[in-house]
Structure 1
Amino acid sequence: MKKRVIAINSSKRKRNTYGLLEQMSKQLKENNIDVDIVNLFDYDIRPCIGCEHCLRKGSCNINDEGELLMKKLTEYDGIILSSPVYMGNISGQLKVFIDRTCRWFHRPEIVGKPTLFVTTTAASGIRDTFKSLETVAIQWGAFPTDYISRNTKNMTKPVSDKEYKKFLIHLFLPREKYKLSMKQVMHFQVQKVLAEKILKIDRVYWEKEGWLNTRYFYNAKTSPISKGMGNLLYFILNKRVENKQE
């Protein structure tokens, strides 16, 4: 079965980062995968104003194309998040969009989607940029796979299939065969406690999805240590977080 992947390009200049996405698009097509590259600067996405309307009411009240792009992400089988390194981290335009997805931390809509990360830099900052991208994907309920980077020394180096091997595998792999990291398990416990204790709209959503009585959003492989630490974190948070739901 053919798979569809969306690649987010968050650089204004269509050069290094965009070039990697174009190269990967051609390579993935040979593996029965269509890649649509989306340029953030082609969208009218304004900064989050912290009104919490999306958290409490379910949708953003800013009249732009932020919601349109969020909906677009839900329609694909996999996601490629890319960014040049700016000041040791992701680009400002990508951060603006990520801020607008804050309700996905409470009510994830792209659960289990394999995610690949791409970054380019003139010097340093790759590790911190990848860390930021990975954390966002986990908060969305997506599944981190591979990390592809280039710097001035190897910018022209072709992307090899080994660099996106995990991403390719997970696009066609049943979710029950995924192996969760401890970071994924721990984030889930935090999100579950918030759903149970803070906003009623979250609890209704989690009940509908059947997540309140599970260890993660879906059945997947988890190490005994991750399970144990996750259960401990849930126990602690459940005791400490005050129930504010009516």
Structure 2
Amino acid sequence: MNKKVIAINSSRRKQNTYGLLQKLKEAMKENNIEVDIVNLFDYEVKDCLGCEQCLRGKCCPHKDDAQALMDKLKEYDGIILSSPIYMGGVSGKLKVFIDRTCKWFHRPELVGKPVLLVATTAASGLKETIKYLEKTAIQWGGFPAGSIGRTVNSLNSPIKSSEYDSFVKHLFKERNEFNPKLNQLIFFQVQKVLAEKILTIDKEYWEHKNWLNKLYYFDCSIKPLNKIFAKGFYKMLSSKVVKVES
């Protein structure tokens, strides 16, 4: 069975990061994976206003392409999230788009989708940027499955299959074979407590998804110690967060 993957390019210049995505696209063909590269700069995405309308189930006041792009992400089997590194972090264009997806932290819509993280830099910032992209993927409900980083000195290095093997395997795995890391379990507990205590619309969404009685979004392989720690963290956090009627 073929799989379809969307690759988000957040570089205007279409050089280093874009070139790496093109190499990945060719490499993925050998694994029966079709990659569509989407350039963020082809979309109008306005700055988040912080009005919280989307969090409360209302329409965003902006009339732009952000929601269409979010809907597009949901159509694919997996996601490649990439960025050049500017000032030690992701590009401004990508940060603006991520801000506009804030409702996904409350009501995740990319649950179980494998996410491959890609970043390029002139010198430094790879570790911090990859970590931020991983955090974003987890907040969306996605499943981080590997990363590829390049500096100007390694930009022309061939992409090794070992750099994307985990991503490919997760695309074809059954969900019960997934093994979430502790940070993924912790984020889930945080989001669950917020759903239970803060916004009614979130609680209804989580109840509909049948997530409130789970340790993770779906049944999967969880290490025993991580399971114990996640349960303990949930109990501690739940006892500290005061329920809000909304």
TM range (shorter): over 0.9
1:47 CA drift (Å): 0.7
Alignment identity in percent? Answer: 54
1:26 CA drift (Å): 1.3
- 2 CA distance for matches of 1:183 and 1:61? 33
- 2 CA distance for matches of 1:124 and 1:61? 37
- Answering whether residue 25 of structure 2 is matched by residue 25 of structure 1, we say yes
More moved, 184-193 vs 146-155: 146-155
Match of 1:117 in 2: 117
SS for the counterpart of 1:168 is: helix
- Answering whether residue 94 of structure 2 is matched by residue 65 of structure 1, we say no
Gaps of 5+ in 2: none
SS for the counterpart of 2:165 is: helix
1:58 CA drift (Å): 4.5
RMSD of aligned Cα (Å): 0.9
- Answering whether residue 174 of structure 2 is matched by residue 177 of structure 1, we say no
SS for the counterpart of 1:145 is: strand
Listed one character per residue, the Cα deviations across residues 132-181 of structure 1 (whole Å, up to 9, x for unaligned) are: 00000011110001110111111111212121000000000001101110
- 2 CA distance for matches of 1:204 and 1:187? 19
- 1 CA distance for matches of 2:154 and 2:30? 24
- 2 CA distance for matches of 1:143 and 1:80? 11
- 1 CA distance for matches of 2:14 and 2:97? 19
Listed one character per residue, the Cα deviations across residues 10-45 of structure 1 (whole Å, up to 9, x for unaligned) are: 001110100010111111122111100000000000
Match of 2:38 in 1: 38
SS for the counterpart of 1:82 is: strand
- Answering whether residue 188 of structure 2 is matched by residue 188 of structure 1, we say yes
SS for the counterpart of 1:235 is: helix
More moved, 157-166 vs 175-184: 157-166
SS for the counterpart of 2:19 is: helix
- 2 CA distance for matches of 1:117 and 1:180? 16
- 1 CA distance for matches of 2:163 and 2:59? 37
1:83 CA drift (Å): 0.4
Listed one character per residue, the Cα deviations across residues 75-125 of structure 1 (whole Å, up to 9, x for unaligned) are: 000000000111111111100000000000000000010000111111000
- Answering whether residue 234 of structure 2 is matched by residue 241 of structure 1, we say no
- 2 CA distance for matches of 1:170 and 1:137? 15
The one-letter code sitting in structure 2 at the alignment partner of 1:9 is N
- 2 CA distance for matches of 1:140 and 1:115? 10
The one-letter code sitting in structure 2 at the alignment partner of 1:70 is M
Q: How many residues align?
A: 246
The one-letter code sitting in structure 1 at the alignment partner of 2:75 is E
Matches for 1:53-132 after TM superposition, within 5 Å: 53-132=53-132
- After the TM superposition, which segments of 4 or more aligned residues of structure 1 sit over 6 Å from their partners? none
1:217 CA drift (Å): 0.5
SS for the counterpart of 1:212 is: coil
- Answering whether residue 137 of structure 2 is matched by residue 137 of structure 1, we say yes
The one-letter code sitting in structure 2 at the alignment partner of 1:160 is K
- 1 CA distance for matches of 2:129 and 2:220? 27
TM-score normalized by the length of structure 2:
0.98
Match of 2:3 in 1: 3
